[in-house]
Structures are given as structure tokens and as C-alpha cells.
Chain A
Amino acid sequence: MDTMRCAADTPAPLGAAKDGASESAMLKDKIKVLKKLYPHARSVLLPALYAAQQLYGWLSEDALEEVSRLTGVSPAEVKGVVTFYSLFKTRPLGRNVIYLCTNVACLIMGADTLEDFLHNTYSLSNGETTADGRFSLVIMECIGACDKAPAMLVNDDCHFNISMDNIREILDNYK
């Protein structure tokens, strides 16, 4: 069962794979390790999807099929799960993903003006990617930074107290 010492199971960077075959092998090994965290093999599905997303950048039909094969969960169910959650990438996104919170606490502090700014400056609307592939925009529900609203994540970085004065400066750091 689950007696494995499973601390610090953050996936080590999977590194750059050279070809499809070695990528598949890496994913297979990774999922094998992750399976040990759960008493039933199918419960590995969410971590397995994250591992595939980290490896391939997004979850294509092929990637989903591979995850299905490696986890033993049927393809239909994998699809059902992946489309339920909003943070699995089922299509390729830009190099940098802006996750802008527009929920009530951020709205009160002017998140709607930031949304307009992104639209006017980069022609970005929710779910879209800039033509040069630099940014994608995902409008978020609350990201738990309401005391420093408006807030956003860019990739894995948190940015707080954003305003029309500093948003451009922040985004300039992401090429």
C-alpha cells in the first residue's frame, strides 16, 4: 500500500527530451512513481495529467491518450476529468500566461480597467494568445490575494497591487 516515503514529491524537472520515444519513457517512469502516493492506481490521474502537461507544454489528444494508457483510466474518462478543471491546458498557450483575477475584491480595486488595458495594448481577451505567442490571458476567479488587489499570476509568479502605473513594467519582464 502507501507506505512509501512520499515526502517532497515535487516532480524533478523532466528536462528536455530528445524524441517522442524518450518523452514517453520519462512520462511512464514519472507516473509509476506518482502511483505509489495513492492506494488505487486510478487516483494518479490528476498528477499524471500535470506531469504530461509539464513535459509536452499542453495536453493534446495524443497526450491524453498516452495518459489514459499509462494510468488505465478510459480515454473518455480522462477527457471528462481534464475538461472539468480550468487549469489544464487543452490547447497550446503563449510563452507566458497571465492569470488575471477579476473577482469581486479585485473588481472593487479596478481589475476591470486592467482587463481593458490588456485588450487595448495586446489585443488580448480571455482565453486568447497574442499573435507573436508572447502572452495568453486567462481570467481567473479569486486567487486568494484580496488584500493586495488587484492581483495576477504570470506563469508561477504572483504579482500584487497592480495598477495602470505598473502593469506595463511588470509585463515587460516577460519576453
Chain B
Amino acid sequence: MKNVILRNIENPNSHRIEEYIKAGGYFAIEHAVNEMTPRDIIDDIKKSGLRGRGGAGFLTGTKWQFASLDPKFPKYIVCNADEGEPGTFKDRVILERNPHQLIEGMVIAAYALQSIRGYIYVRAEYPHVEKILNEAIKEAYDKGFLGNDIMSKHFRFNLSVHRGAGAYICGEETALINSLEGRRGEPRIKPPFPVNAGAWAKPTIVNNVETFANIPYIIETSPKAYSFLGTKDSPGTKLFCVSGAVNNPGVYELPLGTPLREIIYEHCGGIRGGRALKGVIPGGLSTSILTPDKIDCPMDFANLSKHGSMLGSGAIIVLDDTTCIVKIYERAMRFFEHESCGKCTPCREGTGWMRTILGRIEDGMADMEDLATLEDAALNVAGKTFCPLGEGAAHVLLSAMKHYRGEFEYHVKYKKCEVTDPSQRWGHLSMGELD
């Protein structure tokens, strides 16, 4: 299969502009600026059917069109590189190894929207990435792909890096914009949407790193060629980042619609130690867990929704039979509580309540009434929060309680974990024993 996003990845210097150009890079922007109108580009992106790779899966071309139809000036192009969804490390590969493909995608977006200014919002947890990006941006300036007269076409676009400061919620686009503006990263009410009133109240598109990295390929081939990859509803390839109890964890670029079984058992070499599969979190911690019987689910937007989960960021966390579900969700809830911005009550209070009760269950201090209270708390958070953070926290817990009810009840009844021998958990073995 052809690599779209990770092209040239075997080259150890793939992050350098010379190597990127040698591999056909920056051809798309030349083609775009010389032979296409901004409207042609937006039409092509729409025709390709590209959907956002950050989690929500919104149609990229439609987003761009909304922003381009707004007459306010200037417009801003923002790259969301605040990859914070637990289990996700796919954007990291692009940022480290293929930064020019991201920059090229952003410059094409800037040309399509006649934007003059862009920002890459990088999470603070990737200190080395900021350095790589700054170097790549400098190289692009030197070669004339960024600046005030790009390729002598009187097209100007300036780009810089904005470092976040450790807040998961800033991955939500309106919270990210607040953070870019120097404020607390709390989400804003929508509408107005960022395409009409985003950064500094101007039309702004916020796209994920991987989304931008798809753009050059669509422009240099054709929307049709792109839509041949993947499925009809979810075209293109996707970076799946697999972690947990598999033999070969890592980032895999595969067509959307690849069955989960193929990813785990062929590409990732199956479950470690030949153990049994217990469950899979398919798109990052905020997506509902899948039980082993759903392992043939094709990994795309539509099919995962049918199975009650989401494609999310494509972060696949594989759990084997040594994993305690209660412990996993107690930790997950600790995360949601910590990262709740505190703006709305159901999320701020609800995540704390749920974490406290989960802690009691995990520690063997709970009774059956606690299970009912926990469910009740989750149901009172779901559908009542300002942004998807609290919503996700409640939903993932409810689905875990539904599918692994017995394990929760065992914890309450016997005050201990059902997982037979916790000492056999991977972390408790030394590396030698693992092989």
C-alpha cells in the first residue's frame, strides 16, 4: 500500500527540506499556486471527501468553504498539534519525521483561504518537536515557501509555533483558540464557530496535524485518486497508533476501513505472550471500549459508530486478560477529573464524584449501592456538559460498566480484583522474563 502521510519515512533525514523536495515535496504548492484558483483547491478538498483526523471527523473541505465564504479579514490557519488524547502518538511521527508535509498542507490551506498568518499549536509535552518545527519553518522561509512573497506570486503567509502549557482541554478547538490568545484554555460557546469568529474574532480554521498532512497528496494527484483509498464514507489512509498488550506496538498507516483484527493480529503481531484479548479502546481513552466479539469491526467513522464507539484519533489501546477494567477506568477518570477545565458544573463535579466512587470500588471499600450511584452520576453528566470532555468521560464509563458489569460487581462483592494473578501483570515482570 502506498504511504500518503508517512512517505519517505524510511529516510533518516526525512525531516530536512532537501530530502522532502527530493521525494516530491512542495510540488503540490507549486502546482496549486501556478495552476489553481483558491476555489479550485477548496472544491478538490471537498471532492476528496477528506474528514478531519483529530477525532470529530468533520469534512475538511466544508470547513474551509465556510471560512472562505466569511468576508472578514484576515483569516487564520491554525494547526492543532496538541495531541493529548491518551493513547495517541500519531501526530508525533509527522511532527518529528515529516514536518514539511504539515507545513506544505498549511501553506496550501493559506492559499485556498487567502490567509496571511498561521500558528502551529504544539503541546508542551513535546519539547523536542518545537525545535524540529522551528528548524523546518526556517528552512521553508529560506526556500521561499513561507514569507511575504511566496514563490514570487505576491502571496504572503507567515507561520510560527505556539507552545501550549499542559492542558488536555486545549485540544478542543475553541479552548485552543483561547489558549492561543493568551487566556485560560476554556472552551467557548458555539455558535459562532471558529470558521466565522475564531482567533481574535476572525475566521479561523483549526485542523489536526494529520489532516494537513493529507492535503499535498490530494492536490498533487487528484481528489479521485485519494477517494480510491479507504472506504466511500471514510476515504484516505489513517495513522493508527497501537499501544498496550500487543507484540509490536507503533504507528501504522493503513486505509480507513481496515478491520481491527487485521491491525492487531497481522500488523501488530498479536497479543503479547499469546494471551487472550479482553477489550480494545479503539480511538483514544475518550472512546467507548469494544469487547473481543467486535474485533472484526472495520476501522472507519461509520462502522465504529455502529458499534457504539468512535474512530477518534485512531489510538488503539489493546487490553489483555491480565488487565483490570476497574483499575483502568479509575485511572481514566482521574485523568478526566484532572483535565476538566472547571467551567461547567456537571463535568467539574461529576468527574470528581465518579473518580471517588471508582476509587472505593478499586480499593475494595464499596457496596452494591455505590454501583448504582456511579451509574446515576454518569447519567447526570452525559448530555449535560459544555464540551465533549465530560460527555466522553461519562460515556466511556457507562459502556465499560455495561460490558464488564461482572468485573465491577466482583470487586464490590469480594473486595478484590477478578484478574486472577495480578503479579503476572507485565509491569511486574522484568524485561528478561518478557521474552
A residues with a Cβ closer than 8 A to B are 1-10, 37-40, 42-47, 49-50, 71, 73, 80-81, 84-88, 99, 102-105, 107-114, 140-150, 153, 156, 158, 163-165
B241 x A147 contact (CB < 8 A): yes
A141 x B183 contact (CB < 8 A): no
A87 x B430 contact (CB < 8 A): no
B158 x A81 contact (CB < 8 A): no
Q: Which of A6, A40, A108 contacts B323 (CB 8 A)?
A: A108
B357 interface residue (CB < 8 Å to A): no
B residues with a Cβ closer than 8 A to A are 74, 83-89, 91-92, 116-117, 123-128, 130-131, 134-135, 137-138, 140-141, 146-148, 156, 158-168, 179-186, 200, 241-245, 249-251, 281, 285, 315, 317, 319, 323, 327-328, 331-332, 335, 338-339, 341, 425-428, 430-432
Nearest CB of chain B from residue A147's CB, rounded to whole Å: 4
A141 x B165 contact (CB < 8 A): no
Given A7-B134, A84-B167, A85-B166, decide whether A147 and B285 contact each other with a Cβ distance below 8 A. no
Q: Given the complex of chains A and B, what is the CA–CA distance between A9 and B148 in angstroms?
A: 17
A88 x B130 contact (CB < 8 A): no
B86 x A156 contact (CB < 8 A): no
Q: Which of B84, B117, B127, B317 contacts A105 (CB 8 A)?
A: B317
Q: Which of A49, A73, A111 contacts B427 (CB 8 A)?
A: A111
Interface of B is mostly: mixed
Q: Which of B92, B181, B250 contacts A43 (CB 8 A)?
A: B181
Q: Given the complex of chains A and B, what is the CA–CA distance between A46 and B251 in angstroms?
A: 31
A104 x B317 contact (CB < 8 A): yes
Chain A residue at minimum C-beta to C-beta distance from B430? A165
Q: Given the complex of chains A and B, what is the CA–CA distance between A87 and B140 in angstroms?
A: 30
Q: Which of A6, A42, A105, A156 contacts B181 (CB 8 A)?
A: A42
Given A37-B160, A39-B200, decide whether A104 and B331 contact each other with a Cβ distance below 8 A. yes
B86 x A142 contact (CB < 8 A): yes
A108 x B245 contact (CB < 8 A): yes
Given A141-B338, A147-B243, decide whether A7 and B83 contact each other with a Cβ distance below 8 A. no
B162 x A47 contact (CB < 8 A): yes
Chain B residues, Cβ within 8 Å of A144: 83-84, 88-89, 91-92, 123, 125-126
Chain A residues, Cβ within 8 Å of B331: 102-104, 107
Given A104-B331, A146-B241, decide whether A3 and B156 contact each other with a Cβ distance below 8 A. yes
Q: Given the complex of chains A and B, what is the CA–CA distance between A47 and B179 in angstroms?
A: 11
Chain A residues, Cβ within 8 Å of B427: 108-114, 150, 163
A141 x B182 contact (CB < 8 A): no
Q: Which of A4, A37, A104, A163 contacts B332 (CB 8 A)?
A: A104
Chain B residues, Cβ within 8 Å of A164: 430
Nearest CB of chain A from residue B166's CB, rounded to whole Å: 3
Q: Given the complex of chains A and B, what is the CA–CA distance between A37 and B199 in angstroms?
A: 14
Given A144-B89, A147-B241, decide whether A7 and B159 contact each other with a Cβ distance below 8 A. yes
Q: Which of A109, A110, A148, A153 has the most CB of B within 10 A?
A: A109
B183 x A81 contact (CB < 8 A): yes
Q: Which of B88, B180, B182, B242 has the most CB of A within 10 A?
A: B182
Given A110-B426, A141-B168, decide whether A50 and B160 contact each other with a Cβ distance below 8 A. no
A87 x B244 contact (CB < 8 A): no
Chain B residues, Cβ within 8 Å of A80: 184
Q: A9-B134, A108-B426, A109-B426 are in contact. List 19 more A-B contacts (CB 8 A).
A: A37-B160, A39-B117, A49-B165, A50-B165, A81-B184, A84-B341, A86-B166, A87-B125, A104-B328, A105-B86, A105-B243, A105-B244, A107-B331, A112-B427, A141-B335, A144-B123, A146-B87, A146-B315, A147-B249
